[in-house]
């Protein structure tokens, strides 16, 4: 049975209001859309679909053909007609804190403020920004995602898409081709693999495994655990937040700069290999 909703009109387009005393599961399948999501302490979900340019017949048609459905705590929104590469339809959603998100997007811009539950991202292009998420799983082709804080684990397969995560409490596993990955603070283990791009971690509190072909690898501050870092070119840099470090580093054609004296035991452990560029192991600033 479909949930009842209140409908008000904004100009020629409908605003849908669904009673949602609990967090919902929202699924968006959109192309050529600008999506604004807000999760807050509320007992309803409000959806507004509008053309970006009300004077454009094409934008109006895309908005008119965007379908909104709600049943059993599940919200679904789909652009039946694809919008333009610069965006044709504006979708605004206000929902309860902790709601789950499933995003399937193409040439779209998604901005999500507040605290969300588990998030599943399938992105062929565009940009996605999420403030806070319980956990994140992604399959990305191109574009960029940026997430402020993840309470759980992150698992992403990416093509050339860029990934930025401010802080993550759980494990991180990333496999891509040419994407750039930045993590501000990884509180658990991190595993990264790719061909090119860049791997950049400001602070790591767990083990780090990173392997790539032509990709610079940087760990700004390794506080504990082990780091296994390998690439063909691009260089490797590790800052160590400890008094001692066991370092096993070799570069075929570059140089190794190690600020630590040989350690018998204790401290962090670093295994680094590269072919063409330098390896730098130093005390974290």
Residues 33-52: tens digit of each pLDDT: 999 999 999 999 999 999 99
H/E stretch holding 34: strand 33-40
Distance CA 37, CA 100 (A): 12
Model pLDDT for residues 122-180, shown as the tens digit of each residue: 999 999 999 999 999 999 999 999 999 999 999 999 889 999 999 999 999 999 999 99
Are the beta carbons of 59 and 89 closer than 8 angstroms? yes
Q: Reply yes or no on whether the pLDDT at 32 is more than 90.
A: yes
Instruction: Output the average pLDDT for the chain.
Output: 92
Name which of 108-117, 236-245, 247-256 the model is least confident about. Answer: 236-245
What was the pLDDT predicted at 80?
82
Pairing outcome for strands 89-96 and 44-51: antiparallel
Distance CA 232, CA 107 (A): 33
**pTM for the whole structure:** 0.92
What was the pLDDT predicted at 283?
93
What was the pLDDT predicted at 86?
72
Distance CA 87, CA 35 (A): 10
Instruction: Copy the structure tokens of residue 78.
Output: 């789909």
Nearest to 120 by CA among 24, 22, 23, 26: 26
């Amino acid at each position: 049975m479909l949930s009842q909703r209140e409908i008000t009109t904004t100009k020629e387009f409908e605003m849908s209001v669904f009673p949602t005393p609990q967090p919902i599961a929202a699924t968006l399948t959109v192309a050529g859309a600008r999506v604004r999501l807000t999760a807050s302490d509320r007992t309803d979900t409000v959806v507004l679909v509008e053309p970006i340019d009300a004077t454009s017949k094409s934008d109006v048609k895309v908005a008119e053909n965007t379908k909104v459905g709600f049943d059993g705590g599940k919200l679904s929104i789909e652009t039946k007609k694809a919008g333009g590469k610069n965006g044709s339809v504006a979708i605004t959603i206000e929902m309860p804190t902790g709601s789950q998100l499933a995003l399937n997007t193409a040439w779209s811009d998604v901005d999500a403020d507040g605290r969300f539950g588990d998030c599943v991202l399938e992105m062929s292009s565009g940009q996605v920004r999420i403030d806070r998420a319980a956990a994140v799983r992604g399959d990305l082709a191109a574009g960029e995602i940026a997430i402020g804080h993840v309470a759980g684990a992150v698992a992403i397969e990416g093509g050339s898409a860029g990934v930025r995560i401010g802080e993550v409490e759980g494990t991180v596993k990333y496999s891509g081709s040419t994407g750039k990955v930045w993590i501000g603070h990884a509180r658990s283990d991190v595993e990264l693999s790719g061909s090119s791009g860049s791997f950049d971690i400001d602070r790591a509190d767990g083990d780090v495994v990173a392997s790539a072909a032509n990709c610079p690898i940087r760990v700004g501050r390794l506080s504990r655990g082990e780091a296994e870092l390998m690439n063909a070119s691009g260089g490797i840099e590790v800052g160590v937040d400890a008094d001692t470090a066991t370092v096993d580093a070799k570069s075929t054609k570059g140089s190794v700069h190690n600020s630590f004296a040989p350690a018998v035991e204790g401290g962090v452990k670093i295994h680094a290999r590269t072919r063409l560029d330098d390896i730098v192991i130093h005390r974290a600033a």
